[in-house]
Amino acid sequence: MEKEAPVIPAIPEDESFESRFRKLPRYFNHLAAFIAMLFVGFHLYTGLMGRLPALQQRIIHVTLGWMLVWLLVPVHARLRKNRLAFAVDFLMMLVSLGIGIYVYHNFTTYFDRVGMPILFVDLLLGTTAIIFTVELARRTVGWFFFAVVAGFLVFAFWGPYMPNIVAHRGLSLTKMVSSFFLTTGGIYGMITGVSATYIALFIILAAMIRESGVGDLFIKISMSLLGTVRGGPAKMAIVASSLFGIFTGSSIANVAATGSFTIPLMKRTGYKPFFAGAVEAVSSSGAQLMPPVMGGSVFIMIEILGIAYWDVAKAALLIAILFYLALFAMVDFEALKLGLLGLPREQLPSFRKAIKEEGHLILPVIILIYLLAVADVSPPRAAVITIFSIPLSSWLRRSTRMTFRMLFSGLKSGAYGSLIIIGVICAASLIQGIVDRTALGFNLSTMLVDVSGGHLLLLLFLTMITSLILGMGLPAMICYILLAVLVAPALVQMGVDPLGAHLFIFYFGILSNITPPVAPDAYVAASIAGANMLKTAVTASRLGLVLYLIPFLLVYNPELMMKGSMSVLLGVFISATIGTYLLACSLQGYILRDWKISVPERLILLAAALGLIKPGLYTDLIGFGLAVAVVGFRFIKLRGTGSKATPTGSQSP
């Protein structure tokens, strides 16, 4: 008789943002829920039936979102229960509603007034909207982003006083309002349009999928498949995070969700708390790289580059796989060093039972991928259809059936989860408008090309450093947006494939989440593990050393973006996979199952890895030859001494 598997705890919601909400009185709580349902209903309707004209779509999206932020997020955490602060915020909510109504009804007549003096009401409301944009960016993200937005506004006003390379004529308040208010070139610009059309729907989708309990199923599947192998809990965390990341697109949500279960399990099997937290942090950071959601940045890419959604998703898939393969190898060798075993089979869930009882919960994920990759349905419509399929799939079995309360909770959570995006997306659109009006992007690209002296590798290195620094204080999406408009043109000017340039920037924005001294993913994981935060972040960076080379691999091997013939693609991917594995071997001091290698052998494997990573037939042959030489030498040496590789850390049957 099969032994009952342990109960998997329900995956919690990501409380990193919603925990900052004020506690509303009963009737205002109902008001917030009502606005949230309006927000969800609007996006479901336009996603299925087609979006409204650009400015109308964006103003409704922004107005409802701003109203919720004013209502829910206090000016400071200490004022969550302050009635005066709430009264002021409620007034700001009403003003936001007034601005939205004014823009909605006047956007068509505004174009008839082009060239005429700006109206006082336009100036008043436009200035208020810009101030609101900056303040809401602070409330949702923090002071660092507030400083970034304020810095761009200062740059816009004081253009003539800037260094010559970036100086411009300057924008007066009247010019800024006429350019960035009542138009699609500022607050309601292209980036806001992406949020209003794509991102909000996929955040709602992710919340609904989490509410359905499919995350629990992913943990059970990863436990049943990998729980018994060497370092099983850590490998389970990698697989669970990659599966969970398919639809969350948020690394912090991934850490909070899967880490609440995998980190205690890793600690129980012998991992140090800081190492367990580091494994989860690195695993979860890849969530934003894993198609189809990719943290919403994929939708901004398709708008900037003017390409199809699936082209970006395909281009990111192989490097996402390399990301997790490299991490898997690093964790495997770390488990070998520590002599960590897997868990007994009787302590793990049954794969067959999990699939039999809850396998139908995966149907929405399959439907989403089919609609996007095979049926070529537009992303908004695919998201809406998938959202509708979630409760239908859950009702296939009584034990997984979603109740009305669960449906309401999932939809409301999706609306609330969109607020942090709305808080930053308007500010990002404002920044993009400033960059366009002042030609900052062109000037900065020229300067970067000059500084690099025309050397692509140096320019890539400078871009990497900039991405890591900006990413320390900004969400990966905002870091990507800034560098996409400021730095990506320089990479393209140097001959980098445009999509490869944007993925390079985005990738390092993700890695900044585990790079000290500010490493938000590592710090969240450390809090769950009860470990030292800085030590967890440093360990995460060490585990991710291989990962820092993968973006360079993408630039020098554009075939990894699934461009070219299948034979060339397969050859490049195999070469890249072996190269990343050998790099992990060099860093950890082991190869194959459990062969410990010397320092000279590690250096040879490092050269072999770099040869395989660099494109070219001869470098591949040299790299492969060096690797074979090390393996052959180690094999002959072991046979000559009459010993065998000790299965350190392996799991006995």
pLDDT digits 0-9 by tens, 237-290: 888 887 776 666 667 777 877 788 888 888 887 788 998 899 998 888 877 787
Residues 6+ apart with CB under 8 A from 222: 236, 237, 239, 240, 243
Q: Where are the alpha helices (DSSP H) in 476-616?
A: 476-486, 488-493, 498-511, 520-529, 533-543, 550-556, 566-588, 599-613
Number of helical H runs and strand E runs in the chain = 31, 2
Residues 6+ apart with CB under 8 A from 238: 279, 283, 324, 327, 328, 331
CA distance 534 to 538: 6
Helix (H) or strand (E) holding 235, with range, is: helix 232-248
pLDDT of residue 249: 60
DSSP state of 195: I
Mean pLDDT is lowest, of 5-14, 160-169, 385-394, for 5-14
- Is the preceding omega at residue 163 within 30 degrees of 0, hence cis? no
- Could you give phi then psi for residue 236, rounded to 5 degrees? -65, -40
pLDDT at 653 over 50: no
pLDDT of residue 76: 87
- Determine contact, residues 532/526, Cβ cutoff 8 Å: yes
Q: What is the pLDDT of residues 193-246, one digit of tens each?
A: 999 999 899 889 988 988 888 878 888 888 888 888 888 888 888 888 877 766
Angle of CA points 331, 332, 333, to nearest 5°: 95
pLDDT of residue 115: 55
pTM for the whole thing?
A: 0.84
CA-closest candidate to residue 588, choices 336, 234, 366 = 336
Residues 6+ apart with CB under 8 A from 376: 310
pLDDT of residue 111: 62
- Mean pLDDT, residues 14-23 taken together: 69
pLDDT band at 410 (very low <50, low <70, confident <90, very high): very high
pLDDT at 2 over 70: no
pLDDT at 303 over 70: yes
CA distance 55 to 108: 9
562: three-class secondary structure by DSSP = coil
Q: Which amino acid is at 439?
A: A
CA distance 234 to 276: 7
Q: Which amino acid is at 588?
A: Q
Residue ranges covered by each domain of the chain: 15-191, 198-415, 564-653
- Determine contact, residues 249/295, Cβ cutoff 8 Å: yes
Q: What is the pLDDT of residues 96-139, one digit of tens each?
A: 999 999 988 887 666 666 556 678 898 999 999 999 999 999 99
Q: Which amino acid is at 403?
A: T
Q: Which amino acid is at 197?
A: T
596: three-class secondary structure by DSSP = strand
CA-closest candidate to residue 469, choices 524, 508, 413 = 508
Percentage above 90 pLDDT, the chain: 28
pLDDT, mean over the chain: 85
Q: What is the pLDDT of residues 349-407, one digit of tens each?
A: 888 999 999 999 989 988 988 998 888 899 999 999 999 999 999 999 988 999 999 99
pLDDT of residue 11: 38
pLDDT of residue 247: 67
- Mean pLDDT, residues 604-617 taken together: 84
